[in-house]
Amino acid sequence: MALKKRHGRHSVRRHWLINTIGTVVIVLLIIEILLILAVRSYYYSAAKQYVTSKMNIVTNAVMQNANDATVNYNSEIRSVVEAYPDKDKVELMAVKTDGSIDITSSGFSPEQDVSLEDYFEAKKASNGTASAVFKLPSGEKVIAVTSMISPRGSEYEALRMVSSMKGVDSQIMFVIMIITAVVVAVVLVIFFSGMFFIRSIVYPVIKIGEIARNFAKGDFSERIEKKSDDEVGELCDSINYMADELSNTEQMKNEFISSVSHELRTPLTAIKGWSETLTTIGDDEETFRKGMRVITSETERLSQMVEELLDFSRIQDNRLQLQKATIDILAELGETVLIYQERARALGIKLDYYEPEMLPFVYGDKNRLRQVFINIVDNAIKYSDKGDTVSVEAYEQDGEICITVSDTGIGISKEDLPRIKTKFFKANHTRRGSGIGLAVADEIIARHNGTLTIKSEQGVGTTVMITLPCIEQKKKADDKSTVSVELISNDVKPSE
């Protein structure tokens, strides 16, 4: 685990170094090489032009009187070479017709194995001039320029200038060092700025990973500190929000388990107690009937709780199936009220039912809608005390059937009201219930294209309104959809 963790921490840096810095370095190296080649070509061309210009001055002076028979060109050429004024920078040589160097401006004879590449190239050149860069046997790099001359009666056929490239190479090296320093500086700037950027991402991500692992273990106490308003900051906000929601869900789940355990234990205790009692009462018929009523009632209560849990599971897995048909909503609502009239009377709660003469039919699942009515009326009675009133009313409004269940019970606080239909949530833990009945009811009504809204004020009471589309409205909507489909199909022409 530690190895994987360490590998994960370094992978982003490694990928960044390879993909970004590696690419930048390669590109900069290519640019540097091209710049070095361009600089070298520029300086070498300048050196060649410099020596060639000096050679042209000398050759023009020598060839000025090339056809004058009175001039001794051999002596003239020796005089020009020996008296050359720039011999401290450039060495001037006179080359005989046999290719040997006879005299030089420095007074020293050149070494025997010195390259004469420029001389042989000049003999082939149409303009009689050529140059070459080479190293002397001593290792010194020089540039040589040869220009062919042909004065009448002269034993010399070419003049040759040789200049050291040491100064030029030194200047080129200086420029290369500047270019290299700039490239290194650019790489370092990119590297350190990139590392700072990577650190600003990697470290928060590492922290997010550590806290996320704690979330996976069920520890939702820690939160991620937001240090920026960028995408990483938004990620921190999202994960903190997720942790809050998970923490709330975990808390509601624990409360739900506790509540369900209590709700299951109460009827089971009653059933067990009366079962043991019935085995010992003998022929006491009254006690037997009373015990059987309790057992039947508590068994029905257990069955209802189990059905709620199964429905919730089906909703979570999207397996809740509705058997829809045309139904009389008043029949289902009236039967629900009838079921709870006796219970309300026994608890000292007044149950009023304002039944209209007739309502349009509804297309829906009668068993599921009755389940919703039972849940809503049961909640109204459950959260009311002795002397309170529960009112049930049904009416048609704007093509919809509206069913309201109002009570004058304990009500719901403003803080709990927005979450009252959330799974596992219970606004009041002193009253029986699993906390999933309203979530299931809301889902069932939503699947009937209706709405379930709750208005409540603590200490005043609660009103639940259910709206369901009338079957006539549904038929109109279906007819409209059919007409739209037909219009669309008529607009579509078969391909030819």
If asked whether residues 311 and 356 sit together in one domain, one would say no
**Please, are residues 404 and 465 in contact by the beta-carbon 8 Å criterion?**
yes
DSSP letters, 213-253, are HHHHTT-----PPP--SSHHHHHHHHHHHHHHHHHHHHHHH
Tracing tokens 């590696």 back to the chain, one arrives at 22
pTM of the model: 0.48
How many angstroms from the chain centroid is the CA of residue 243?
Answer: 19
Q: Which residues pair with 338 in a beta bridge?
A: none
**Domain CATH code at residue 23:** 3.30.450.20
Q: Does residue 98 sit in helix, strand or coil? A: coil
For residue 393, give the amino acid letter. E
**Domain CATH code at residue 450:** 3.30.565.10
- Which tokens sit at 190? 């990119």
**Please, are residues 32 and 177 in contact by the beta-carbon 8 Å criterion?**
no
If asked whether residues 146 and 20 sit together in one domain, one would say yes
Read off the DSSP letter of residue 470: -
**Please, are residues 69 and 62 in contact by the beta-carbon 8 Å criterion?**
no
Q: What confidence score (pLDDT) does residue 12 get?
A: 67
Per residue of the chain (496 residues), give pLDDT as tens. 444 444 444 566 777 777 778 888 899 999 999 999 999 999 999 999 999 999 888 888 877 765 666 667 788 888 888 888 888 888 999 888 888 888 888 877 776 667 788 888 988 888 889 999 988 888 889 999 999 887 666 788 889 999 999 989 999 999 999 999 999 999 899 888 888 877 777 777 777 888 888 877 777 777 777 777 777 778 888 888 888 878 777 776 776 676 667 667 777 888 888 888 888 877 778 888 888 888 887 887 788 777 777 776 776 667 677 888 999 988 889 888 988 888 888 899 999 999 888 888 999 988 889 888 988 998 899 888 899 999 999 999 888 999 999 999 888 888 878 777 776 566 555 555 555 778 888 888 998 999 999 998 888 899 999 999 988 655 444 444 444 434 333 443 433 3
Determine how many CB atoms are found less than 10 A away from the CB of residue 111: 10
Going by C-beta distance under 8 Å and a sequence separation of 6 or more, which residues neighbour residue 299? 267, 271
Give the number of domains in the chain: 3
Task: Tell me if 213 is assigned to some domain.
Answer: no
Task: Tell me if 200 is assigned to some domain.
Answer: no
If asked whether residues 59 and 167 sit together in one domain, one would say yes
If asked whether residues 417 and 326 sit together in one domain, one would say yes
Task: Tell me if 210 is assigned to some domain.
Answer: no
Q: What confidence score (pLDDT) does residue 490 get?
A: 43
**Please, are residues 134 and 142 in contact by the beta-carbon 8 Å criterion?**
yes
If asked whether residues 307 and 370 sit together in one domain, one would say no
Task: Tell me if 387 is assigned to some domain.
Answer: yes
If asked whether residues 288 and 368 sit together in one domain, one would say no
User: Which residues constitute the domain of residue 120?
Assistant: 2-64+71-171
Listed residues 294, 315, 336: the one ending a domain: 315
Strand order in the sheet with 400-407: 350-354, 389-397, 400-407, 461-469, 451-457
Going by C-beta distance under 8 Å and a sequence separation of 6 or more, which residues neighbour residue 427? 412, 413, 416, 420
If asked whether residues 139 and 84 sit together in one domain, one would say yes
Task: Tell me if 160 is assigned to some domain.
Answer: yes
Task: Tell me if 194 is assigned to some domain.
Answer: no
- Which tokens sit at 467? 């709206």
Listed residues 154, 171, 188: the one ending a domain: 171
If asked whether residues 375 and 341 sit together in one domain, one would say yes
If asked whether residues 242 and 336 sit together in one domain, one would say no
Q: How many angstroms separate the CA atoms of 263 and 270, rounded? A: 11
Read off the DSSP letter of residue 24: H
Q: How many angstroms separate the CA atoms of 45 and 43, rounded? A: 5
DSSP H/E element including 23: helix 22-62
DSSP letters, 35-82, are HHHHHHHHHHHHHHHHHHHHHHHHHHHHGGGTT-TTS-HHHHHHHHHH
If asked whether residues 418 and 437 sit together in one domain, one would say yes
Of the candidates 248, 47, 67, 52, the one whose C-alpha atom is nearest the C-alpha of residue 154 is: 67
Read off the DSSP letter of residue 418: G
If asked whether residues 330 and 248 sit together in one domain, one would say no
CA-angle at 460, arms to 457 and 463, nearest 5°: 65
If asked whether residues 336 and 467 sit together in one domain, one would say yes
Listed residues 137, 156, 171: the one ending a domain: 171
Q: What confidence score (pLDDT) does residue 350 get?
A: 92
Residue 138, CA distances (Å) to 60, 141, 496 in order: 32, 9, 89
Task: Tell me if 181 is assigned to some domain.
Answer: no
Task: Tell me if 344 is assigned to some domain.
Answer: yes
**Domain CATH code at residue 284:** 1.10.287.130
**Please, are residues 146 and 159 in contact by the beta-carbon 8 Å criterion?**
yes
Q: Does residue 145 sit in helix, strand or coil? A: strand
